[in-house]
Chains A and B, each alone.
Chain A
Amino acid sequence: MMSLAHQITEELEVLLATLTEGELLPEQRTRLGQLLRDHPGARRFYMRYVELHVLLEWEAGAGVLDPADQGAVLQELLQLEDRAATSTVHQAKLPSPTRTYQVDRPSTREVGQVLWYLGTRRVVWGPIAAALALVVGLVVVISGPSGETPGESDSPAPPLRASESVVVATLTAERDAVWYRRPGEELYAGQRLTLTEGFAEITTKRGAIALLEAPCTFELIDHDNAIRLIKGKLVGICETESSKGLLVRAPLMDITDLGTRFGVDAASPSHTDVHVFEGRVEIQRPGALDTARGISAGRSLRASAGTPLLQTISHSAVDFGVIVPTVIRLPGTGQALAPNQADTNWQITAVNGKPIEPAVSPVASDSAAYYLGFPEDPMESKFISWKPPSSPGAGDYFTYTFATSFNIPDGFDPDRLRLSVRFIADNALAAVIINGERVVIDGEVMIEFQRWRDFTLADHLVAGHNTIEFEVRNHYADRFGTAGQVGLRVSWQLSTLKTLFEKNAWARP
């Protein structure tokens, strides 16, 4: 690469530095073309230089520099400018890794995320993304508005600065681990650890648990509830109130726990997968112009290098050797029923708390209004609905109680089970009553009929027979003054998760 005559090399380098800024003058273009035509070595150098520029544009992670970082850059520039005045570019050398190791070094993949950033800013992805979504049906578009300038966008999680002296987590357990660490050891912000073989359990200062599976490299950052996963697999468990909000900064996405258990698979450099076993997490692509995207239990998404798209992938907990998941799927509303067939698993038992005698079973609905924006999935769930034959009383809104029951089989400890529910209610879900206990859903009384919502219940479950009621509020009359149709759609599951570090099984096989 460096066999070109020194003079040509210098001239070429000036031209290329100008080219990368998009500021080549006509005579410079002519000269560049001439050099590339006349010198095969120049041509090869040009190709490598442009490729590097593109990769940096495409891959450099969109980190937000804080003022301290900019100050550091300024100082570096001051020093380097002086040196540059008296030396040629070929004297620039990479310092050795041992000398240059920085506590707050970002992961290489973090520096590598501009691909996505550019995908949203500089390349019109809209038609492609839309086509992908429509034709393939397995991708979710998260492309941001084109042409938006940096700084106008929503930032990802705030930058996390490292410090050598802050204890942020503890190594609480390990199994077959190959590394020079011992359980009970405190871990500091800025420490980068590699687990060559086996499994390890890290507990953050706020009590969140990160289970790591080799081969795995991760870094502690200056945050009481966060971990940077550089490579490998991690399962996050947040069981206590204080541990909620665990942030996992993975190579291609940031994952924030919203009270849940989830797995992150960053074993491959080309993509990062997130699997939500229970509850819900929020995903943010580094540098994303979009706000965070939430996903709930039983769902999995993949972020790939080189694309702004998040791809829905098949959900799999079995890929994580550090956990033993068990899922009991419950039949969704209207599952496998034809339109207008009664769903006898469910009954509408009361209106405004007043029992209906006899209770009625809602029917599977094929109303186009219900499926507009919520694609029908008859094998998982359909809307079930009921239209009162006459006004159930005076007023604009009525609350209808949809009741059903499910069984927790022998051998499962109800205290370790989670009930993950995904629902849409027409018009809104007012409350949920589990075994006679009324529970608050996200602190809301009224949730509008406009998108899937979800919640996870960990309390009030009992062994054997369980009853659950969904109170759905519905506007009484349509515009013709007749009784309105009330509807509910639910997909749900019970699940447990046992980790390798637990002595007692959560569920007997």
Chain B
Amino acid sequence: MSEEAGQSEAFVTDFTSCQSRVYAYIFTLTGDREQARDVLQEVNLVIWRKAEEFEPGTNFIAWAFQIARFQVMSHRQKLARDRLVFDDELITGMADIFSEDDPFDARREALASCLDRLTTNHRNLLRIRYADGLAVKDMATRLGKSANAVAKVLHRTRMALLDCIERQTSGGR
């Protein structure tokens, strides 16, 4: 494989493997899924267009975060004020907390392990919500329960997962 092709392959690998992390970053800063999806698309296009500017061997995720941060701020300018969840100052404060050295992958791995420890029913609940993509209110309709009840169980499941991830990544079980 030529050096150029090798670099292209490495770029594609970096590009594809950072998607969930960049999406999480954008979602956190925007506080809104629809906006996060729009911005992610813009970020992906910018990353691809600027591919030649990326220096192989440097930190890809730091570069992607930088682009994402700029795109978030840029996207905000296009939106009506009432659609914004956070103000600029808070966004800047949160963006500063993100670090490319943050053990995101460790938490991601821990999530896989923690999902394995859930009961089948809890996993199925997550499947309906996330894999089938049903909103809580639709789940409630399908299951014949109140939306509030479904939201509570979902939330409790997320909290249990967070607790499990925290324990695993901090060394405790």
Quick one: closest A residue to B143, CB to CB?
Answer: A74
Q: How many A-B residue pairs have CB under 8 A?
A: 250
Q: Which stretch (A126-134, A322-330, A424-432) binds chain B? A: A126-134
Most chain A beta-carbon contacts within 10 A, residue among B123, B150, B154 = B123
Tell me if A52 and B162 are in contact (CB < 8 A): yes
Q: Which stretch (A41-49, A273-281, A291-299, A399-407) binds chain B? A: A41-49
Tell me if A136 and B8 are in contact (CB < 8 A): yes
B100 at the interface (CB under 8 A from A): no
Tell me if A92 and B109 are in contact (CB < 8 A): no
Answer whether A94 and B86 are a contact pair too, CB < 8 Å, given A102-B119, A304-B13, A311-B12: no
Q: Which stretch (A75-83, A206-214, A347-355) binds chain B? A: A75-83
Interface residues of B in 85-105 (CB under 8 A from A): 85-87, 89-90, 93-94, 97, 104
Tell me if B155 and A55 are in contact (CB < 8 A): no
B107 at the interface (CB under 8 A from A): yes
Tell me if A117 and B131 are in contact (CB < 8 A): yes
Tell me if B12 and A132 are in contact (CB < 8 A): yes
CB distance from A27 to the nearest CB of B (A): 11
Tell me if A128 and B48 are in contact (CB < 8 A): yes
Tell me the bound Cα distance from A31 to B90 in angstroms.
13
Answer whether A21 and B136 are a contact pair too, CB < 8 Å, given A43-B97, A60-B126: yes
Tell me if A92 and B160 are in contact (CB < 8 A): yes
Interface residues of B in 7-55 (CB under 8 A from A): 8-9, 12-13, 16-20, 23-24, 27-28, 31-34, 37, 40-41, 44-45, 48
Q: Which stretch (A62-70, A169-177, A451-459, A480-488) binds chain B? A: A62-70
Quick one: closest B residue to A102, CB to CB?
Answer: B120
B42-80 contact mask (Cβ, 8 Å, vs A): 1 or 0: 001100100000000000000000000000000000000
A114 at the interface (CB under 8 A from B): yes
Set A13, A117, A128: member contacting B155, Cβ < 8 A: A13
Tell me if B143 and A77 are in contact (CB < 8 A): yes
Tell me if B120 and A104 are in contact (CB < 8 A): yes
Given the complex, which residues of A lie within 8 Å of B44, measured CB to CB?
Answer: 123, 125, 128
Quick one: closest A residue to B86, CB to CB?
Answer: A33
Given the complex, which residues of B lie within 8 Å of A436, measured CB to CB?
Answer: none
Answer whether A74 and B160 are a contact pair too, CB < 8 Å, given A17-B154, A43-B94: no
CB distance from B142 to the nearest CB of A (A): 7
Given the complex, which residues of A lie within 8 Å of B154, measured CB to CB?
Answer: 17
Tell me the bound Cα distance from A89 to B109 in angstroms.
24
Tell me if A131 and B24 are in contact (CB < 8 A): no
Given the complex, which residues of A lie within 8 Å of B16, measured CB to CB?
Answer: 304, 306-307, 309
Given the complex, which residues of A lie within 8 Å of B160, measured CB to CB?
Answer: 92-94
Set A33, A75, A119: member contacting B87, Cβ < 8 A: A33
Q: Which stretch (A105-113, A336-344, A380-388, A489-497) binds chain B? A: A105-113
CB distance from B107 to the nearest CB of A (A): 7
Given the complex, which residues of B lie within 8 Å of A104, measured CB to CB?
Answer: 120
Given the complex, which residues of B lie within 8 Å of A151, measured CB to CB?
Answer: 132
Tell me if B19 and A115 are in contact (CB < 8 A): yes
Given the complex, which residues of B lie within 8 Å of A149, measured CB to CB?
Answer: 133
Tell me if B23 and A111 are in contact (CB < 8 A): no
Interface residues of A in 110-160 (CB under 8 A from B): 111-115, 117, 119, 121-125, 127-128, 131-132, 135-136, 138-139, 149-151
B138-159 contact mask (Cβ, 8 Å, vs A): 1 or 0: 0000111100011111111111
Quick one: closest A residue to B20, CB to CB?
Answer: A58
CB distance from B91 to the nearest CB of A (A): 10
Set A26, A72, A269: member contacting B112, Cβ < 8 A: A269
Tell me if A287 and B119 are in contact (CB < 8 A): no
B106 at the interface (CB under 8 A from A): no
Tell me the bound Cα distance from A455 to B124 in angstroms.
41
Tell me if A56 and B130 are in contact (CB < 8 A): yes
Tell me the bound Cα distance from A432 to B117 in angstroms.
55
CB distance from B30 to the nearest CB of A (A): 10
Tell me if B90 and A92 are in contact (CB < 8 A): no
Tell me the bound Cα distance from A58 to B21 in angstroms.
10
A29 at the interface (CB under 8 A from B): yes
Set B27, B90, B128: member contacting A65, Cβ < 8 A: B128
Tell me if B136 and A114 are in contact (CB < 8 A): no
Interface residues of A in 245-299 (CB under 8 A from B): 269-270, 287
Tell me the bound Cα distance from A75 to B171 in angstroms.
34
Tell me the bound Cα distance from A276 to B154 in angstroms.
42
Tell me if A131 and B48 are in contact (CB < 8 A): yes
Tell me if A70 and B142 are in contact (CB < 8 A): yes
B3 at the interface (CB under 8 A from A): no
Tell me the bound Cα distance from A125 to B47 in angstroms.
13
A53 at the interface (CB under 8 A from B): yes
Set B32, B145, B163: member contacting A22, Cβ < 8 A: B32
Tell me if A306 and B19 are in contact (CB < 8 A): yes
Set B86, B122, B144, B166: member contacting A36, Cβ < 8 A: B86
CB distance from B86 to the nearest CB of A (A): 5
- Given A53-B27, A59-B112, A81-B153, 13 further pairs, Cβ under 8 A: A21-B151, A22-B33, A32-B85, A51-B104, A59-B111, A77-B143, A92-B159, A114-B130, A115-B19, A123-B41, A124-B41, A138-B9, A309-B16
What are 25 pairs between A and B in contact, CB < 8 Å?
A: A13-B155, A20-B33, A21-B137, A33-B85, A48-B162, A52-B162, A55-B108, A60-B131, A61-B127, A70-B143, A76-B125, A77-B145, A90-B159, A92-B160, A94-B114, A94-B160, A102-B119, A114-B130, A123-B37, A123-B41, A127-B45, A128-B45, A287-B131, A306-B20, A307-B16
- Please provide the 5 A-B residue pairs with the shortest distance between their CB atoms, ordered closest to farther: A76-B121, A307-B16, A60-B130, A108-B112, A92-B156
